[in-house]
Amino acid sequence: MASSALTLSTPTAYFAPPRSEASVASSLFKSLKPPPFWPWQSQKKVKMGPLSVSPMGFGTWAWGNQLLWGYRESMDTDLQRVFNLAVENGVNLFDTADSYGTGRLNGQSEKLLGKFIKDLQGKEQGKDEIVIATKFAAYPWRLTPGQFVDACKASMERLQIEQIGIGQLHWSTANYAPLQEVALWDGLVAMYEKGLVRAVGVSNYGPKQLVKVHEYLTARGVPLRSAQVQFSLLSMGEDQFEIKKICDSLGIRVIAYSPLGLGMLTGKYAPSKLPQGPRSFLFRQILPGLKPLLSSLEDIAQRRRKTIPQVAINWCICKGAIPIPGVKTVEQAEENLGALGWRLSASELLQLENAAEESPKKMIQNIFQTR
């Protein structure tokens, strides 16, 4: 989620002029519109059951969140540019949730996505290929399968679509309301059988509960297609890798949220330069111990002529996950796109993972993730 501009992932990397013409070409390039597609667009999409999705999606948690991400409605025009840029460059997976948005803006993320899809001009094929993955909150008042189906229908109205790509249970209630969870699983079954969603997924499920929900849904004839979990170089604990191993064995795709550790893996922040808002408390605890990891990210980024966020996101892709970095600006979107179309080497992956192990502080896991 860095704000620095995309470096060497733009067309200049493909037709760099001789040094003597550099100044002329620089002026010319500024006046050119980027091409309608990038080289990675032609690469094979990732299969998720009946769906074909880009190797990286975009997360929209910030779209409507004033408390943590400083959202303002004046940002909507820029967010639409972000969305259009993503679609033009082959990104077709957008993750959201019915709880994204604070206060009166609850559901704002879904509403914005619905508007942006509707407003796509002359891109009917692009519209058809867009996959919306939304999450339904396990609110305490959602106690029956029917109520969960109603939540799905409400999301469809906000998104202005006739069918959701991936309908996901946002978190497990196994730790505090196990009977409610079974009703919510039945709700996933019902929305799938009614054709409201093309695929079913879960979020924030630990290894044991993931196996249970997979077995339950399979017995009902509903394939579990995705498991969304916090997964990054800051979140590579034992549980996370066990989840990945289980998913690989069961044919479930891992969707990695917070692949940049809420911004800590962007190289943008330091103990003396913290973000505003609640994130600053977490950053103050973790950033001082990240020097080994950030140094390795910077070292590889310089060698690869990439940026630190691009390397961190590419690590997730190389581990077989589908990262969904959050985006608020065109600059962030352009930079994130530079994580596609190349792969870290085995030695570079090992270097990063060793550096991550050397960092004394790790990302705090979501309190809703079960065992």
Distance from C-alpha of 290 to C-alpha of 140, rounded to nearest angstrom: 38
Nearest in space to 108 (alpha carbons), one of 96, 119, 117, 118: 96
100 an active-site residue? yes
Query: Which DSSP state fits 364?
Result: P
What is the rounded (10 degree) CA torsion for 268, 274, 276, 280? 120
Q: Which residues sit opposite 164 in a β-bridge?
A: 197
Q: Which of 14, 71, 100, 139 is catalytic?
A: 100
Measure the CA angle with vertex 49, ends 47 and 55; round to 5°: 25
Distance from C-alpha of 39 to C-alpha of 58, rounded to nearest angstrom: 19
Task: Please check whether residue 68 is in contact with residue 279, taking contact to mean a CB–CB distance below 8 angstroms.
Answer: yes
For residue 164, count CB atoms less than 10 angstroms from its CB and return exposed for 0-12, middle for 13-18, buried for 19 or more: buried
Q: Give the CA radius of gyration of the chain.
A: 20
Active site residues: 100
